[in-house]
């Protein structure tokens, strides 16, 4: 995505000269020190925003040793860690992406209620990876629950590969904000979890101009029902995310103001 001459510590500065928002993925793997967020806040322009992925222990992904003595302690530590972003007014939302085994059952509905309560006034987005939430019988109930509880809907474009994937449900649940996340359409890679590099294979996909054009109309429709739409490309293992994002910006005719100064053409 970047030229060979860009140092790791300068990548966010370069990125913020092209795009107004970034998804923080490293927060999923560890509760990061506050100083990390303070640094990112300082090196991005005032209008720049962050979507921060919830720590894996908060979404039921954690399979190793739990570094926290309780779930409450875990949530409190995470909230404290992102405080610099909140104080700077740069937090767009915390994204809770639940695993494929997080089925639509009462116990998991209770998990979502607990999570929303613990996060308080912090804006939270919800993304499922299990199709049971969007079956014909449950779809309306799921949407109504998200609206009632105040969840921001993270709408996905992803491979349709059985129970471990979800359909694209074009229904905002929050009048202020909706997320749209593009995961690619690599069906074979999505289901190939036995390979050691399965994460790289899963998101290896470049959207065609035709596929992005189809989404242009969908995004315009969504914006009639939600004040702001944040579009995130996660098809990044082959370096396609930035190129597709810039192509979408062009298709939508968007010209961003208030980005970081652009010195060189890195993309």
pLDDT single digits (tens) 191-249? 766 555 656 677 889 999 999 999 999 999 999 999 999 999 998 877 899 999 999 99
Region 19-27 average pLDDT: 97
Phi-psi label, residue 134: left if phi above 0, alpha if psi -120 to 50, beta otherwise = alpha
Domains with residue ranges and CATH for the chain: 9-252 (3.20.20.410)
Q: What angle do CA 107, 52, 254 make, to 5 degrees?
A: 120
Mean residue pLDDT of the chain comes to 92
Selected residue with higher pLDDT from 162 and 148: 148
Is 90 exceeded by the pLDDT of residue 189? no
Over residues 35-57, the pLDDT tens digits come to 999 999 999 999 999 999 999 99
Confidence band for 27, pLDDT divided at 50, 70 and 90: very high
pTM score over 0.85: yes
Over residues 162-174, the pLDDT tens digits come to 888 999 999 999 9
Lowest mean pLDDT segment, chosen from 29-38, 75-84, 141-150, 194-203? 194-203
pLDDT of residue 238: 76
pLDDT of residue 187: 84
Reading the block at residue 56, the tokens are: 């894996």
What secondary structure does DSSP assign to 105-137, as a single string?
SHHHHHHHHHHHHHHTTS-EEEE---GGGGSTT
pLDDT of residue 199: 65
| 172 three-state secondary structure | coil
Residues 4 and 43: their CA atoms lie apart, in Å, by: 21
């Amino acid at each position: 995505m970047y030229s060979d001459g860009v140092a790791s510590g300068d990548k966010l500065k370069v990125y913020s000269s092209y795009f107004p928002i970034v998804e923080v993925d490293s927060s999923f793997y560890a509760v990061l020190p506050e100083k990390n967020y303070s640094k990112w806040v300082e090196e991005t322009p005032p209008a720049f925003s962050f979507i921060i992925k919830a720590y894996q222990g908060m979404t039921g992904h954690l399979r190793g040793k739990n570094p926290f003595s309780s779930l409450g302690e875990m949530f409190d530590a995470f909230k404290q860690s992102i405080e610099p972003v909140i104080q700077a007014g740069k937090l767009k939302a915390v994204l809770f992406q639940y695993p494929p085994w997080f089925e639509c059952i009462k116990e998991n509905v209770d998990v979502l209620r607990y999570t929303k309560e613990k996060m308080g006034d912090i804006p939270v987005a919800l993304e499922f990876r299990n199709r049971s939430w969007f079956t014909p019988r449950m779809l309306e109930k799921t949407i109504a629950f998200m609206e009632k509880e105040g969840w921001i809907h993270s709408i996905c474009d992803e491979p349709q590969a059985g129970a471990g994937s979800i359909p694209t449900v074009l229904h905002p649940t929050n009048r202020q904000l909706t997320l749209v996340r593009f995961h690619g359409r690599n069906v074979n890679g999505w289901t190939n979890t036995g390979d050691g590099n399965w994460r790289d294979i899963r998101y290896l996909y470049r959207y065609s101009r035709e596929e992005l054009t189809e989404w242009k109309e969908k995004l315009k429709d969504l914006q009639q029902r939600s004040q702001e739409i944040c579009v995130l490309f996660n098809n990044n293992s082959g370096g396609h995310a930035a190129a597709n994002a810039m192509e979408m910006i062009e298709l939508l005719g968007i010209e961003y103001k208030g980005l970081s100064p652009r010195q060189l053409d890195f993309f």
